[in-house]
A and B are shown apart, each in its own frame.
Chain A
Amino acid sequence: MVPTAARLALVLAGLAAALLAVAMLALLLGSAPVSATAVLRALTGRAESGSIESVVALNLRLPRIIAAVLAGGSLAVAGVGFQALTRNPLAEPAVLGVSGGAAFGVVTGQIFGLGPTILAALGLAAFAFAGALLAAGAVFAIASAGSALSIQTLLLAGVIVGIFFSSAITVLISVLDFNRLGGVIHWLFGNLAPVPPGPLLLFALLTATGFWLVLGQARALNLFMLGEETARQMGVDAERLKRRIFIGAALLTATVVAFAGPIGFVGLIVPHLLRGWLGQDNRLLIPTALLGGGIFLLAADTVARNIVAPAELSVGVITAFCGAPFFVYLLRTRARSLL
């Protein structure tokens, strides 16, 4: 079964429909009861402004839904990118310590007083990006100390770098403002919240940039699976590919961390499920990961919002509960093989 544009379009259409369905559900479910007709009225602009329905639906739930979709999509695409780059199905932003580095960047940025305005959000994203690159660079440097990038070394290096940055965050906050420590630790789980329109647009733009960087290399990534030397002999510019995937995936991760904190395991679960369904071709995986990741995280966040209503769980807790057993399953069935 050869991937074609038609097949991709069909799959994307199906996923888009599923996404819309989950989004509608997310709009309806929540601790404040809002009926379906009320939501529809709010969406089509026919509710009185300032009414409970429009506030809840438009100002609270809809921005949060959009943020969830963007975050999930970004993390899933970053996962596909890292997995193809390292030829290792266990590589994803959290496992590789990249989320940890980005989180350190965000905390450092917040110490400098960057807050929720759009320019400040850009600054936070920049700090997060720097942290993500630093972490990813450290992991790859540690793991390539031998000759080839072995799975075990990569994972170990990722875990170590992640722990290092988490500890660094804790130290930083403890030293500077101990009272905030509880809040920061809660943030470290990863939480989605309604993002104001300006920053939300920035979020979308950064996601689009990272996605474009990774998608552009999709065909070359397939060839890269045959081995770097073979890919080069087939005309692939391996250095450019590695750079773009690296930067694109780091940017996607950093963006999510800047807006929602470090959410783990989306980049592990979603690509794996998609690969089981669609095969290994990155030209199919990367676009579908954007939608599939969105669906997954939106569903997880809806659960997080509702399962202990009126309280809320962090969405990162839900993904970790799904992810940890999934990780073990992957380790047992696939650790030996590459993608």
Chain B
Amino acid sequence: MEFAYGGAEGRRPRSFSMAGLSLAVARGEILGVIGPNSAGKTTLIRLVTRVLTPRAGDILLSGRPLGRMSAWELAREVAVVPQEAPPALRFTVEQLALMGRYPHAPARFFESAADRAVAEVAMAATGVLELASVPVEILSGGERQRAMLARALAQEPDLLVLDEPTAHLDLRYQVACAALLERLNRERGTSILLVSHDLNLAAQLCDRLLLLAEGRIARLGPPAEVLDEELLRAVYGCEVSVDINAAHGRRSVQVAWPRR
């Protein structure tokens, strides 16, 4: 599966534009999208899921233009886990997971037994199977996020898009989330597009990073190339230092906090 932009331009209400984007997500890859606020990370997600359409250029999914696909076709291949589940959802975890089956048979009124089986597998994969009858609103932040992830997995997508998946999670759940994503990628071959503020998570998890700045690509490549002190300093506008972790060989980014 391949996602390719050819010089796409998108517009957001507050005269923001992205231009000259040209990138492809390879099958089975974990691509991290990083960058400052208003760099266009969420706009990118919206372009990829056709919530926004580019003014120029094409977005292709496995070679097919996004504009020619029906909303259901797109939802069968791309699933998004938003930053937060809406509050006060009285649906149970199982009902939420089952919603992910909608694009596969939108004309059906109730889900089929086959749908329920897929939802069960999805819940098991994200470790919320034993919470199946629990209303989503009383779950903890980490559990709620895993329930939303189960819903996305039930769509059986080729590409999973996650918007700030660890934003509201404590350390333990951050680690669990990273491990889960890595396992999903490895076992199912699902491509993952991950938008995150957490540079260290991105460094750890992703095969390649896309650094966005003001709607343009600042750099695209493996973490070793993208997590460069000079570049990060220029893009983020603050002092950072990048250490190479001796134990794992991975880079970690440290911010220089103001001295007291």
Which A positions have Cβ atoms within 8 angstroms of B? 1-5, 8, 87, 218-220, 222-223, 225-227, 229-230, 232-237, 275, 279-281, 283, 337-339
Contacts and interface: CB of A to CB of B under 8 A. Distances in A.
A219 B51 contact: no
Contacts of B86: 87, 225-227, 338
B171 interface: no
B87 interface: yes
Given A2-B116, A225-B91, A226-B85, A283 B110 contact: yes
Contacts of A232: 49, 51, 71
Nearest to A334: B88
Interface of B: 46, 49, 51, 70-72, 74-76, 78-80, 82, 85-92, 94-95, 98-100, 102-103, 106, 108-111, 116, 133, 155
Contacts of B76: 235
A1 B80 CA distance: 25
Contact of B87 (A219, A283, A337): A337
Contacts of B89: 225-226, 280
A222 B79 CA distance: 17
B110 A4 contact: yes
Contacts, number: 87
A125 B95 CA distance: 38
Contacts of B100: 234
B51 A222 contact: no
- Is chain A's interface secondary structure helix, strand, loop, or mixed overall? loop
Given A223-B99, A338-B87, A234 B109 contact: no
B110 A3 contact: yes
Contact of B90 (A226, A234, A237, A279): A279
B197 to A, nearest CB: 20
Given A223-B99, A235-B102, A2 B90 contact: no
B110 A5 contact: yes
Contacts of A236: 71, 102
Given A235-B74, A235-B103, A279 B91 contact: yes
11 contacts: A1-B92, A219-B108, A222-B91, A229-B82, A232-B49, A232-B71, A233-B79, A235-B70, A235-B72, A237-B71, A280-B91
Given A223-B102, A235-B75, A280 B110 contact: no
A281 B95 contact: yes
